[in-house]
Amino acid sequence: MDAIVTGEALTPETPVAEAEIEQTVIRTWRFVLVPAQLKALEQSPLFGPPTRAKRLQERYLDTEDFALARAGVTLSWRKAGRGMRFSLLHEGVRLDAAQSGEDPDLSAFGPAWQASLTTLLQDAPLYEIAGATLRQTTRSFAGATLCFEAGQLSAEGGKIALAEVELCGPATALADAALALAGQAALTLQPEFPGPRAVRLAGGPMLKPQKAAGALEGAPCLDEAVHDIIKSCLNQFRANWAVFAHGDQVGAVHQMRVAMRRLRSALGLFNRALPCGEFLLLREEAKRIANAMGEARNWDVFIAMLQDGPANAFPQERGFAALAAQCRTHRAAGYDAVRALLDDPATTRFIITAEAFIARRGWRGGLPVEALAQLAAPASDFGAICLQRLHRKLRKRGRHLAALPAHDRHLVRIELKKLRYAAEFFGGLCAQKGKVRNFNRAAAALQEELGKLNDMATAEGLATRLQGGTPEALRALGIVLGWTAHAALGEPRALNAAWAEFKATKLFV
């Protein structure tokens, strides 16, 4: 993933840049364009004069069993004219090192990465497993550099046509340039470099869903926490964007929705203390994106319930096969909607806008001068206030939980999720890690019980969209409707036990 990246993500043990080694950490975004759009943009008079077009050859190296790819590393060399450049890509960060020959000198990436790569390779030889042939022109734009690339990726698994523009530059200039570029063309984010795509074409491993990054650590101030938390949510969304295209789609959709819910929760917390119109605008967009993915996720959950529940309990009923086929049709439509959402330039513009907002620390501008001091206060103080408020609100709303109507229980679940997200954001700042783990464990158990009830309530609605068609399917549908209606009532004892355990567990602040 090459959208707004940082050098810290690349380093296994020590900083990537070492004084005696000439290296460059590249910060970049890539966007997909159709060939005609690429040509028109490449010739736009709005950009600086173009460089002479280059013919590039890039080769991607790995072992026979993809030892590097399995560790999330892509190693490549690129030849352009007489020049030679080796690159190491890891977690969205590309580290470049100039070399004279075609055999990679691992020491060029510094001693830390030399040791890591040596361990990964275990003396296994490297092979050229895939390649790229590209035509590239470069132009300057708004303090950044535009690289227009057209050509193809190739491996034994076939070929992939490529028409993309890469935008490179310092973080602040990059965000503003991307916004300006989005005003000139309908951009769609390409969340991956070409290398990992070429390696998969050669038979490399598929991508796996990415959970949210760890909590805040150290002693950040509130200003740093706002930046890092929003950044974490955006990174989680973009990482799973790539997974949706080239991996576990079910897990990717779930994690992208989680990323948007976490973002909405964080923006709500920050806007309460630091009122800012952009917090609210981004929050609404995050809600829109999460909702657009809801249909796909709901049918995923329903299909799992159907297979593990009534179809498993009544294996002799032949009508379940017809119902499952209908479910797959509904789910396919849901996934088409997700695909359209990610292809929509509005989604890319949302990501660019959010990145530009955090790059310029936009929340500072809406505050009066006397309020700016709170941004320098410890984030742990802000987190403690948020957690205590959310905890009190949840305990109040959850009284007599098992006896509450379904709608009120759903509101309790929403408040619990807000509390859990806040605990994820700020729990790492608490010195008493055991208390954090205990609280998170109790909150997760309660959320699990409430989630079951919510899933069954949703399943009731989805079941009514299925058609009987045949006597067998009609009988199976009746079983499903009865199953979901009964399950939606819940298990009061399990819910009460989880609620009691949660109330008995002290908040860690």
pLDDT single digits (tens) 370-409: 778 899 999 999 999 999 999 999 999 999 898 888 889 9
Q: What one-letter code names the amino acid at 290?
A: A
**pLDDT given for residue 414 in this prediction:** 95
Q: Which of 253, 213, 255, 231 lies closest to 351, judged by CA?
A: 231
| Structure-block tokens of residue 406 | 């379904």
**pLDDT given for residue 31 in this prediction:** 95
Q: What one-letter code names the amino acid at 332?
A: A
Tell me, rounded to whole angstroms, the distance of Cα 55 from its chain centroid. Answer: 33
Q: Tabulate helix, strand, coil % of the chain (nearest 5).
A: 60, 15, 25
3-class SS at 135?
strand
**pLDDT given for residue 9 in this prediction:** 35
Report pTM.
0.90
CB neighbourhood size of 476 (10 A): 25
| Structure-block tokens of residue 269 | 């917390």
DSSP 157: T
**pLDDT given for residue 81 in this prediction:** 65
Q: Say if strands 28-32 and 158-168 run parallel, antiparallel, or are unpaired.
A: antiparallel
**pLDDT given for residue 13 in this prediction:** 39
Q: What is the dihedral of CA 359, 251, 88, 4, to 10 degrees?
A: -10
**pLDDT given for residue 83 in this prediction:** 67
Residue 123's Cβ-count burial label (10 Å; 0-12, 13-18, 19+) is: exposed
Residue carrying the six token digits 């987190």:
383
With a cut of 50, which residues of the chain have pLDDT below it?
1-25
- pLDDT for 222-245, tens place per residue? 999 999 999 999 999 999 999 998
CB neighbourhood size of 272 (10 A): 12
Q: Which of 182, 149, 121, 111 lies closest to 353, judged by CA?
A: 182
